[in-house]
Structure 1
Amino acid sequence: MSTSSLVAPPMLSPQRLAVSLMFLANGFVVGSWAPKIPEFAARLQLDESELGLMIMCFGIGSLCAMPAVGAMISREGSRRLMLLVASATVPCLLLVTLAPSIWTAALALFLMGGMIGGMDVAMNANAVEVEKRQGRAIMSSCHGFWSLGGVAGAALGGVLIELYGVQLHAVIACLLTAAALAIAWPRALADPPHREVPGAEGSLATAPRPGLLAAGATVWLTGIICLIVMTPEGAILDWGALYLRQELGADPALSGLAFGAFSAAMALMRFLGDLVRDRFGAVRTFRVSAVLAMIGLTMAGLAQSPQMAILGFAIAGLGFANTVPIAFSAAGNLPGLPQGLAISVVTFMGYSGILFAPSVIGFIAEHTGFAAIYLALPVFVIMPLVFSGLMRHADRQKA
């Protein structure tokens, strides 16, 4: 064995920088869209239900693109798809801003959702490849960069819209996204097509059918785990502030801290998550994280004051921070399936939890109240705990 093969790769390699920038840019575009929503609704004269349908176009676009991009990654690898879809994402915010009618705005939102969702699959697949090449976990910090991009996009967007208006804000946001893409482009990891599946002889078409069935069942089960652990994020994002105001008597400023505390704690823990996972392993990290999330949600549901609920949401954010990155890494390393296909399944199912579960939660909460919802969500997290052994696949990059 040569001496060079014993040298550990640098913590921040060019390939890791590139994929981190892609996560940052993706989160930045999503975050930049949030402060535009009030002007968007006013310009097109949309009421709440019509605005909800428009935002659903974004979600439907994402869910349509994810399986398609996953299939293309199996044929071409993740680098090319990641860069191409990221390039198509750059002008989307401007298209939404300039859309002159409801139908063109719906089409623009569908397109932006598709590009964001497709980019999500490709950059997660590329992050799995970087993990394999470096032999260390990077997925949690990548998702941390996504959270950081979302916060930066929302904060900068609010200031720019206030000072310069929505059109100049869209132009600046597009230019910043293009700059991140330009830096990442020459550094992005080039990976081969993913037709060949780990642990199987030959191509996917010639792999043994029992092995494919077992791999398929495992990836769908991993997707259900993602659905369960991502649903509380949507529940806190959409309903946390309303819970604090209606049931705990918080003022508007304090109620805004519901999702703020959750997302800030999540971003912090995601930047620490890779070190924790490398030290203790994916399964143990996932289990401790899930238990911590259950404790936080239970605290929020039992809270007698807004401050206690906010603390519960923050603890839940610490817990949920690393569950999804670990599940994505596990899916990308499942033996018997191309990683692009596997990641597209878990992203499709996981983001369904954020996009569609909150509407169901809102309907139920009309009859039960939100405290009961936040007490019920930890019960569902028991299922990911039971099947947490599947997360061992996330450690395969160390082999």
Structure 2
Amino acid sequence: MTDNPAVTGTLARAPIITRARAAVALMFLMNGFLIGAWAPKIPEFASRLSLSEAALGLMILVFGVGSIVMMPIAGIQIARLGSAWVTRITAILVLPTLILLSLVGSIWAGAIAIFLFGGLIGAMDVSMNANAVATEKQMRRSIMSSCHAFWSLGGLLGSATGGVLMAWLGVVGHSLLVTFLAAAMVALAWPMMLLDQPHPEAVKDKVRLPMTPLPWLIGLVALFSMIPEGAILDWGALYFRNELGASVQLSGLAFGAFSLTMATMRFAGDLVRDRFGAVNTLRFCTVASILGLLTAGFATGPAMAILGFAIAGIGISNMVPIAFSAAGNLPGMAQGIGLSVVTTMGYSGILVAPSAIGFIAEHTGLAMIFIGLPALHLVVLALSGLARHADRAAGGGH
């Protein structure tokens, strides 16, 4: 008898697509769409506020600080209100922020707007992940990877259409259209969301930050899974140009190959996890990422590096979704609290790592960065047994 309830199949599962699953997928799509739509607006935002590169860097840091400040607050509110209501509230509050970012005319107003945008995007991120965990429990099947795939799809749609829409509608017109489309997604998802309000008496002892090591160790898994993702995003193209002698056009394939395999594997990841269990899936993904990063780091030309980043995408694709599922299913802990710890730790890696990598790369070169990053994944392998908590969701209860 296996100890992995996701593999046993002894409990009846819901159909693959349910109203609750469609609702949470729409929320992920909407969140990614807003982030994607913001990316092509950044140059105009910097120009309007006369920001230097250093000042723009600080503004982007303010976005990250907003997320890190508001993610734990979201976790506490999830414990009190349930993830569905916190997702709905944060989704409504974040809708006007993109318009605000398109209208601000001073640096201080811009800083406040970007803090709110980053904070509410981050808070919604925690709550929609918590709702995905609750939906996994109800359905008794994994859905987290495909939710993250919809987030990636939203980001792609937002970023790919941004330039064209801004040229056609103007900066404010683009923001109004994006906000309208995002609001439509929220309106569609709103009535279908799985309500998971906890019992108030069960919440009182669970809203403080956890003193047990378990969520922090799973947070380390998320952190060490996301740092290589951030490194490829921020430094992949530069590595291609400066150290592999690739053209500008070819350099874009670095992140393109990574994104394509990551999105594809995220749509497949839930079926893989339900078949093989979260621990085995995490271990396979981690080894694949290690092989991909080493292939990219030791590459003698762009083709080998593209292959390496594509393999790394296959690996990294499902590492973070599994960590988030595990965080939402920790025994004796309100799921919003565990998730807020893990998401905050994970996303801080995306925020802090790029500047640290830049500093190290000045002395070592970027090839050595990609060769060295697998050391972080060795820690993930050492902690991979903790992924068994992710199977509680698909296994149907505690």
TM-score by shorter chain over 0.5: yes
> In the alignment, which of 164, 169, 172 is matched to residue 164 of structure 1?
169
Q: Structure 2: which amino acid aligns with 1:310?
A: I
Q: Does 1:118 align with 2:114?
A: no
> In the alignment, which of 366, 369, 377 is matched to residue 373 of structure 1?
369
Measure, in 1, the Cα distance between the counterparts of 2:273 and 2:315: 13
In 2, are the aligned partners of 1:267 and 1:321 still within 8 Å (CA)? yes
Q: Which residue of 2 aligns with 1:290?
A: 286
Q: Which residue of 1 aligns with 2:4?
A: none
* CA deviation after TM superposition for structure 1 residue 204, in Å: 5.8
Q: Does 1:15 align with 2:20?
A: yes
Q: Which residue of 1 aligns with 2:205?
A: 205
Across the aligned residues of Structure 1 and Structure 2, the Cα RMSD in angstroms comes to 1.6
In 2, are the aligned partners of 1:194 and 1:339 still within 8 Å (CA)? no
* CA deviation after TM superposition for structure 1 residue 6, in Å: 7.3
**Matched ranges for 1:213-228 at <5 A:** 213=211, 216-228=212-224
Deviations 1:170-220 (A, max 9, x none): 111100100000000000110022767xxxxx666399xxxx75xx20100
Measure, in 2, the Cα distance between the counterparts of 1:292 and 1:195: 43
Measure, in 2, the Cα distance between the counterparts of 1:351 and 1:264: 21
Q: Does 1:302 align with 2:301?
A: no
Measure, in 1, the Cα distance between the counterparts of 2:145 and 2:239: 29
* CA deviation after TM superposition for structure 1 residue 262, in Å: 1.1
Change (3 A) 1:6 1:377: closer
SS of alignment partner, residue 89 of structure 2? helix
Q: Does 1:259 align with 2:255?
A: yes
> In the alignment, which of 69, 83, 87 is matched to residue 82 of structure 1?
87
Q: Structure 1: which amino acid aligns with 2:332?
A: G
Change (3 A) 1:99 1:333: same
In 1, are the aligned partners of 2:203 and 2:334 still within 8 Å (CA)? no
Q: Structure 2: which amino acid aligns with 1:240?
A: G
**Matched ranges for 1:1-399 at <5 A:** 8-193=13-198, 205=205, 213=211, 216-397=212-393, 398-399=395-396
Change (3 A) 1:206 1:390: closer
Change (3 A) 1:23 1:313: same
Deviations 1:118-149 (A, max 9, x none): 00000000000000000000000000000000
SS of alignment partner, residue 381 of structure 1? helix
Measure, in 1, the Cα distance between the counterparts of 2:227 and 2:204: 32
List runs of 5+ in structure 1 lacking aligned partners: 197-201
- Greater CA drift, 131-140 or 308-317: 308-317
In 2, are the aligned partners of 1:220 and 1:345 still within 8 Å (CA)? yes
SS of alignment partner, residue 331 of structure 2? coil
* CA deviation after TM superposition for structure 1 residue 336, in Å: 2.0
Percent identity at matched positions? 58
Measure, in 2, the Cα distance between the counterparts of 1:146 and 1:6: 29
**Alignment length, in residue pairs?**
384
In 2, are the aligned partners of 1:265 and 1:318 still within 8 Å (CA)? yes
SS of alignment partner, residue 205 of structure 2? helix
